[in-house]
Amino acid sequence: MLKHILSSSIHRLPKTVVPPLRPASVYFSPLNRVLCSLRGGRLFFCSGSGDGTDAEAKVAELASGADESQTKASSAIVSTNPRPEDYLTVLALPLPHRPLFPGFYMPIYVKDPKLLAALQESRERQAPYAGAFLLKDEPGSDPSVVTGSDTDKNVYDLKGKELFNRLHEVGTLAQISSIHGDQVILIGHRRLRIAEMVSEDPLTVKVDHLKDKAYNRDDDIIKATSSEVISTLRDVLKTSSLWRDHVQTYTKHIGDFTYPRLADFGAAISGANKLQCQQVLEELDVYNRLKLTLELVKKEMEISKIQESIAKAIEEKISGEQRRYLLNEQLKAIKKELGLETDDKTALIGKFRERIEPKREKCPPHVLQVIDEELTKLQLLEASSSEFSVTRNYLDWLTALPWGEYSDENFDVTRAQMILDDDHYGLTDVKDRILEFIAVGKLRGTSQGKIICLSGPPGVGKTSIGRSIARALNRKFFRFSVGGLADVAEIKGHRRTYIGAMPGKMVQCLKNVGTANPLVLIDEIDKLGRGHAGDPASALLELLDPEQNANFLDHYLDVPIDLSKVLFVCTANVVEMIPNPLLDRMEVVSIAGYITDEKMHIARDYLEKSTREACGIKPEQVEVTDAALLALIEKYCREAGVRNLQKHIEKIYRKIALQLVRQRETIDATIASSQSIEPKNAKVDFDESGQNTIQKENLLGSINPEQMGETSEEDDKVQLDLPAEESSCPDNQSTDNEAAKEKEEDKETGTMTIEKVLIDKSNLNDYVGKPVFHAERIYDQTPTGVVMGLAWTSMGGSTLYIETTFVEEGEGKGALHVTGQLGDVMKESTQIAHTVARAILLKKEPENPFFANSKLHLHVPAGATPKDGPSAGCTMTTSLLSLALKKPVKKDLAMTGEVTLTGKILPIGGVKEKTIAARRNEVKTIVFPSANRRDFDELAPNVKEGLDVHFVDDYSQIFDLAFGDEHSQNIEK
């Protein structure tokens, strides 16, 4: 038998609204049984708990095909008088979601007061019947889309004829079981068809009672279809416990069984939409109804299979993790009970206490107080709370810092000097400053932190100097670059309230190095950014101020940290890019760059050695001449630093390595092919072990050098050293001598030496390509109107020519046209130089109207390079005067300096860079402002060697140097 369940669905009645069952004496009395059989009364079923019997067995009973007249004693019969079929006019109740099938309960809500009153009145008049009709969808709406509240609202608003037109014609005669407020419990009896409308408010219709079409219960097709329905229901019962509840409830309260009732049951409890259910309700042919129900039940079976597969997949996914979690929890509980392991919180607190205990005496009191407070707080927090993880991370950082831990410094000046010299050539200023720092620390017995800023072009070794200083002082080294840094939190840390908060770079540095007095290299400090997260340059003030960093406060730790023992070394390319408040706290040490001699030493003693080792080449395999290195420096690597020089040396050695490997492979292949061929004059003997030995006479000596890939040049030869005894072997030698000779021969065959690869100026192009730089000197002898100037760039110093030429002459056409991509400062310098030149010419030659009547063009090559700066005024003035006087300047003369309108020469910067540029271009005479005499005197002797330097205050001195009688001849004798 099948069951009827009233679930939470709309068409099923919840247990809370089920009308109470009548006493068993009423249901099962003989009188009621007779009345029921005589009147053809219908059976109605209320929900009750299942009796626990096997649901599948009940479904199997359906196959027996009981007769229509059979009834069960467990039926809940409600006798009515008159009979239901006597009601031809009933109230029309709209059903919004699903139709009501005969034999099923359905609760509906009636919002219309008139309709509710009419239902109550009908129930009181012993005529508790109404018609339940499914509501049609609105025209143009999609029946598959559910809009619950809107649909209910539309049902309540429909009245009269509008409601009549929206009702399906076929419905169900429903008994009004009970009314609770606006909830009405309906019990389906039989099918109805609307004939016509009787009244509109409330809607009353005239109906015709429908009966199923006659069918043969012994028809094999009907039996087979019903059996398939029952079989499908049985399969569904195996996968769904909800269906088993349906069957148990339905079989408990159903009174008889027929094929039509089976069809109604299958359609009622299926998950089909309301139109499909309405189609089953409207079908009066029993066979067709069974077929429709079979389709719905089969679809329900497929849905059950899909549901089962989904549930199985999800269960497999989470069961492994749940099992592992449960086992871990059980393991923890067992270990805790046995005393083998404490819980995580206790172990964590013990770890923090153990970590801080050795530092307790050296740790500042305020830090110890914070640590103790946080440990107490950690004990009271739950391990699963977010505050627990914040406190744990905070304690992890606090206890990991090296409070009071200092590394032992080495104050040996001689050792420090040796280390600095081993790592870097030259850089006397930097080395002297470090040695002074060590000497002061030795006299005081302790060292204070300082802030040193190394400024200079790229590639001069600023970063590597910091590493060498740390090695010389025996301090820990930590480097972090602030180039492009735009977040203050990188310096000062985040607040602990933020997710993913971390301390700043200095706190991370102290944790990594493990000492409170490391050497911290702050790289690229002139390239600090500034974004939406604040100004990092301002945040660095507290870090780099000797008066403040003794109590540096990180936002994350929120306790003062002593950074007074830290030695800060900053690097910058351009000091002018550093903010002035930050620059004021630093001690700037300038590294101008290297001259050619220094680059030669660096390349020979440092770069070549390290590159050779990195390429796996032995010193005896390669020789790079001084001429090649000099050409490499002057024609390929002219910048101030040596980074590009190192790249070119690495390029040379990589090509040499490839050349050596190819030669070795060629030799090995040639020897292997030669040894595989038995010589014509080979003698076969047998040694003591019975193995034959082959005496090869002058085997390798017959190999053509061209077959081994050798070149005709002596530098690339491959020499094969063979013993003299190998050329001939007497026949009367013993087998022992023959075996020894064989072994010696094999040894000599495997040992071959490749002569050194010589890198000279002649073959340098084969390794590094064509020269990149050519001589900056365009003129060997500068013509009239051309003067060599000296300039400073971020890559070092360079020379540049300032050229002035005559354009046209006319009365009052005196003008000056300027080109060369000059900046605003240099454009103003040209105007000042023009004015000063006119004044000097008027003073020297009053009758000369050159500037008044001549249009001039002043150009500073190269035009593609932007140029600006206040150091070319005297050079421009000299160029203009040279053209006006028609006198060339002295040969090998270069000058720099800014001139005022009164002819005074102002000081300039970059003296070392400009001096190096002058030496690189073989300039003999240099003119500097007198105010730069101190800068020039501080230069190394090898930089000043061979230069004739003149220091001037007024332009008249430059005029005498450039155009004096003794300098008027521009022809070298």
| 3-state per-residue secondary structure call for 308-356 | HHHHHHHHHHHHHHHHHHHHHHHHHHHHHHHCCCCCHHHHHHHHHHHHH
Last residue of a domain, one of 558, 590, 622: 590
Last residue of a domain, one of 355, 379, 400: 400
The answer to whether 461 is annotated as binding is yes
Give me the mean pLDDT over the 322-333 stretch: 83
358 and 438 together in one domain = no
Q: Could you confirm whether 743 is annotated as catalytic?
A: no
Give me the mean pLDDT over the 32-57 stretch: 35
Catalytic residue among 431, 476, 635, 914: 914
- Is-contact 911 934, C-beta < 8 A? no
432 and 552 together in one domain = yes
* Residue 910 C-alpha from the chain's centroid: 43
Q: Strand 552-553 and strand 560-561: pairing?
A: antiparallel
pLDDT in tens, 904-956: 999 988 888 888 888 877 888 999 999 999 988 888 787 888 889 999 999 99
Q: Chain-wide mean pLDDT for the chain?
A: 76
Residue 457 has pLDDT above 70, yes or no: yes
Residue 851: inside a domain:
yes
Give 832's pLDDT tier (boundaries 50, 70, 90). very high
pLDDT in the model for residue 677: 58
Least confident of 10-14, 85-89, 127-131, 395-399: 10-14
Residue 280 has pLDDT above 90, yes or no: no
**In the chain, how many domains are there?**
5
Output 913 or 518, whichever has higher pLDDT: 518
466 and 540 together in one domain = yes
- The CA radius of gyration of the chain, in Å to the nearest whole number, is 53
Give the CA-trace dihedral at 697, 700, 702, 706, to 10 degrees: 180
Output 131 or 272, whichever has higher pLDDT: 131
Give me the mean pLDDT over the 439-443 stretch: 87
946 and 810 together in one domain = yes
393 and 423 together in one domain = no
pLDDT in the model for residue 736: 52
Residues of the chain with pLDDT > 90: what percent? 10
> CB within 8 A of 458, min separation 6: which ones?
573, 639, 641, 643, 794, 795
Least confident of 23-37, 93-107, 132-146, 717-731: 23-37
The answer to whether 518 is annotated as binding is no
Residue 748 has pLDDT above 70, yes or no: no
Output 149 or 425, whichever has higher pLDDT: 425
pLDDT in the model for residue 951: 94
What strands lie across the sheet with 519-523, from one edge to the other? Answer: 477-481, 519-523, 567-572, 451-455, 587-590
pLDDT in the model for residue 142: 60
Residue 970 has pLDDT above 70, yes or no: no
- Quote the CA–CA distance of 927 and 353 in Å, as a whole number: 70
Output 77 or 244, whichever has higher pLDDT: 244
580 and 461 together in one domain = yes
Least confident of 352-356, 731-735, 917-921: 731-735
The answer to whether 849 is annotated as binding is no
Residue 48 has pLDDT above 70, yes or no: no
609 and 461 together in one domain = no
pLDDT in the model for residue 254: 54
Give 786's pLDDT tier (boundaries 50, 70, 90). very high
The answer to whether 873 is annotated as binding is no
- Is-contact 880 856, C-beta < 8 A? yes
- Is-contact 549 449, C-beta < 8 A? yes
Q: At what angle do helices 413-423 and 428-444 cross, to 10 degrees?
A: 160
- Quote the CA–CA distance of 792 and 780 in Å, as a whole number: 22
* Residue 907 CB coordination number (10 Å): 17
533 and 613 together in one domain = no
Output 750 or 430, whichever has higher pLDDT: 430
Site of tokens 């004015």: 835
The answer to whether 459 is annotated as binding is yes
Whether the model clears a pTM of 0.85, i.e. scores above it, the answer is: no
pLDDT in the model for residue 966: 45
Last residue of a domain, one of 209, 233, 248: 209
- 182: domain CATH number is 2.30.130.40
Residue 145: inside a domain:
no
Residue 831 has pLDDT above 90, yes or no: yes
Residue 913: inside a domain:
yes
pLDDT in tens, 401-416: 898 888 888 888 899 8
- Quote the CA–CA distance of 50 and 4 in Å, as a whole number: 10
610 and 468 together in one domain = no
The answer to whether 151 is annotated as binding is no
Residue 498: inside a domain:
yes
* Residue 910 CB coordination number (10 Å): 22
Output 29 or 531, whichever has higher pLDDT: 531
Residue 735 has pLDDT above 80, yes or no: no
Residue 701: inside a domain:
no
The answer to whether 902 is annotated as binding is no
pLDDT in the model for residue 121: 83
Full domain range(s) for residue 442? 413-590
The answer to whether 458 is annotated as binding is yes
- Quote the CA–CA distance of 590 and 608 in Å, as a whole number: 26
855 and 906 together in one domain = yes
- Quote the CA–CA distance of 549 and 449 in Å, as a whole number: 10
- Quote the CA–CA distance of 611 and 631 in Å, as a whole number: 19
pLDDT in tens, 611-635: 988 998 888 888 889 899 988 988 8
436 and 583 together in one domain = yes
pLDDT in tens, 654-671: 999 998 888 888 888 888
Give me the mean pLDDT over the 303-310 stretch: 84
Residue 231: inside a domain:
no
- Quote the CA–CA distance of 421 and 408 in Å, as a whole number: 22
Residue 894: inside a domain:
yes
Q: Could you confirm whether 871 is annotated as catalytic?
A: yes
Give the CA-trace dihedral at 72, 73, 78, 79, to 10 degrees: 90
Residue 693 has pLDDT above 80, yes or no: no
Catalytic residue among 177, 270, 871, 879: 871
- 944: domain CATH number is 3.30.230.10
380 and 438 together in one domain = no
* Residue 675 C-alpha from the chain's centroid: 58
pLDDT in tens, 852-879: 888 999 999 877 788 888 888 999 999 9
Residue 326: inside a domain:
no
pLDDT in the model for residue 688: 40
Considering 117-126, 336-345, 371-380, the range whose residues carry the highest mean pLDDT is 371-380
Give me the mean pLDDT over the 524-540 stretch: 81
pLDDT in the model for residue 456: 85
